[in-house]
Structure 1
């Protein structure tokens, strides 16, 4: 990966709908070589997909809830059941397996506390947990989907 690829990635992260001709001009290439680079980045799995980002408030899911989960079960069987349990809950938009005091950290988006309570009940109905702690975000200070491109090799 070179500086032109990094610049293409930076530009596409900010606006994946930018016309190819404009993108090529911004990275000082003609359209065909620029298109080839994009296709190569897709084939290598660097670009995994192109999506539309929606405004959570306009989608009526303006409340973000972080759910810290601890379990006393650490088998692959339990992890598989856990993954299946949360896969069917669309309000859960991110899941991380953690080190330290918390085993899993989930991020959910919902309209209100009552909707979160329904999500919580679906989780505990589907899988046994040792401890669940929920934290409501009061304000979003920074939210981005843009990854730093300077580390890409």
Structure 2
């Protein structure tokens, strides 16, 4: 699906929504200079085009008591089918918070979220150690989530 055409108000509205989607339509409209109904139409367009994928509550990892781990994984064989098998296996776990296919020495970055070291060990074994076609993986436990955001740019920085 192609990216929808966005004007300056769309970019501003998307930034506001990414930082706090609980604002009322009236409050958003005041910030961008539109009526609440015009803001609602734009938000509906964002959803209909798939630009806004979903609206969620983002928990603070420390307050939630979560242990985050960044895992790097390399596969043995590079075929599309082998990548799909690996992805399907990893994505079957609810502990996989993020999965990225990347360039460089590693094939994937996997972010795991668990409730502690013991659970992490069990999950890492099940998700990564037992993954099909895995050559090797390395894990880095997150000691301090200094900045964790889901904000994405909608246009190049000036």
**What is the TM-score of this pair, normalised by structure 2?**
0.87
* Partner residue, 1:104: 108
Once the two structures are superposed, what CA deviation does each residue of 1:74-101 show, in whole Å capped at 9, x if it has no partner? 1122112112211221111111111111
From 81, 91, 94, the counterpart of 1:87:
91
Q: Distance in 2 between matches of 1:9 and 1:47?
A: 9
Flag structure 1 segments of 5+ consecutive residues without an equivalent: none
**Matched residue, 2:82:** 78
Mapping 1:1-153, distance limit 5 Å: 1-61=6-66, 63-123=67-127, 124-151=129-156
Could you say what secondary structure the match of 2:77 adopts?
A: coil
Q: Secondary structure at the match of 1:120?
A: helix
How many Å apart are 1:55 and its aligned residue? 2.1
What secondary structure is seen at the aligned counterpart in 1 of 2:111?
strand
1:12-68, CA deviations, whole angstroms, 9 ceiling, x for partnerless residues?
11111111111112111112222111111222222111111112233331x211111
What SS class does the counterpart of residue 53 from structure 1 fall into? coil
Hey, what does 2:3 align to over in structure 1?
Answer: none
- Counterparts of 2:124 and 2:133, CA distance in 1: 12
Of structures 1 and 2, the one with the larger relative CO (CA 8 A, separation 6+) is: 1
Q: Name the count of aligned residue pairs.
A: 151
C-alpha RMSD of the superposition = 1.7
Deviations 1:91-149 (A, max 9, x none): 11111111111111111112222111101211222424111111112222211112233
Unaligned runs of at least 5 residues, structure 2: 1-5
